Structure 1
C-alpha cells in the first residue's frame, strides 16, 4: 500500500520527462522481477503482462511519424520480442539484454526530467493551476487559482 501511495505522489509531482523515466524504471524493475521468478510460471505470467502494458503505453505516447518516433517504436518492439523469447525459453539472459537496452533510455529521460525540474525552480515558476478544498460544517467548497492569481469557485 505504501509503495502505491509513494508511486502516486511521484507521478503527481513529475514533469513530462520524469513521467517517461518512471515508466522506464517500472519496466526495468519488472524485468528484474522476471529474472527472479523465471521458474515460477504463475508470477512470470503476471509480470509479462505488466511489461507488455508498459511497453504498449510507451508506444501509445509516440506522436507522429518522425524518425525519432519510429526509432523508439522499433526499440520497444525489439524489447517486446526479447522478453517474449525469454518468457518462452525461460532464459534470464533475454531479460538482462532487455534491461541493457532500456537502461540508457531511462538514464537519458531521468536526466532530462531533473534538468527540467531545476530549470523550473530557477525560473521560479509555480504550478499553472492550484486547487484546494475548504471544509465547513456539512459542506465542502472547492476553489481553483487560475493563472491570474485569482481564486474561483471550482
Structure 2
C-alpha cells in the first residue's frame, strides 16, 4: 500500500482526534522539509513549505470553534509562536529551532492519537472524512467541512 493510499484510509476511518493528529503529522513532515530546503538554500521550496505550514496552522486555528476558552487561547498562542519561529527560520536562514518545533508537534500528535484511540465512534465526521484526500504534497477537500473540529 502506498503512502497516499494508507493516508486516505486513515482519513476515511479516523475520528476527529485522529484527524487532528494527522494534521500534526503533516506539520512534522513539512517542518522537516522546510529545514532541508533552508539548508539547501532552495528559496522556491522553502517558501512553498512555509506556506503549507501556515495553511495547516490556519486550519487548526479555524477548527477551534467560536467559544472563547483557555484551550483555544493557549492553542492559538502556540500556533502563532510556531508561525513566528517558521518565519524567522525562513528570513534568517537559521534552522536551529526546527527540531524544537518538531518535538512540540510530535508530542501533540501522540496526545491526539492517544485521545482518538479512546473514542468509540471512528466515523464521527462522515461528511468530512469522505471529502478529503491528503498527501505529503497536496490536500484536496471536496466535501463539507462544516462539522470540522466540532465534537
TM-score for the superposition, normalised by structure 1? 0.72
Once superposed, which parts of structure 1, at least 4 consecutive aligned residues long, lie more than 6 Å away? 125-129
Structure 1 residue aligned with 2:15:
15
Match of 1:60 in 2: 62
Alignment of 1:71-82 (within 5 A): 71-82=74-85
In structure 2, what is the Cα distance between the partners aligned to 1:70 and 1:4?
33
Comparing both chains, which one has the higher relative contact order based on Cα–Cα distances under 8 Å and sequence gaps of 6 or more? 2
Deviation at 1:75, TM superposition (A): 0.5
SS of residue in 1 equivalent to 2:58:
helix
Q: Aligned-pair distance for 1:94?
A: 2.4
Aligned residue for 2:64, secondary structure, equals coil
CA displacement at 1:126 relative to structure 2: 8.4
Instruction: Indicate the larger mover: 106-115 or 80-89.
Output: 106-115
> Secondary structure of 2:118's partner?
helix
Which whole-Å CA distance do the structure 1 matches of 2:84 and 2:106 have between them? Answer: 17
Structure showing the higher strand proportion among its residues:
1
Q: How many residues align?
A: 121
Matched, 1:32 2:32: yes
- TM-superposed CA distance for 1:101, in Å, is 2.4
Work out which of the residue numbers 93, 107, 112 in structure 1 matches 2:110: 107
- 51-60 or 87-96, which deviates more: 87-96
**Structure 2 residues not aligned, in runs of 5+:** 127-151
Alignment partner, residue 50 of structure 2: 48
Provide the residue aligned with 1:4 in structure 2: 4
| Structure whose alpha-carbon radius of gyration is higher | 1
Alpha carbons 1:21, 1:110 under 8 Å: kept = yes
CA-based RMSD: 1.9
Report deviation, 1:127.
6.2
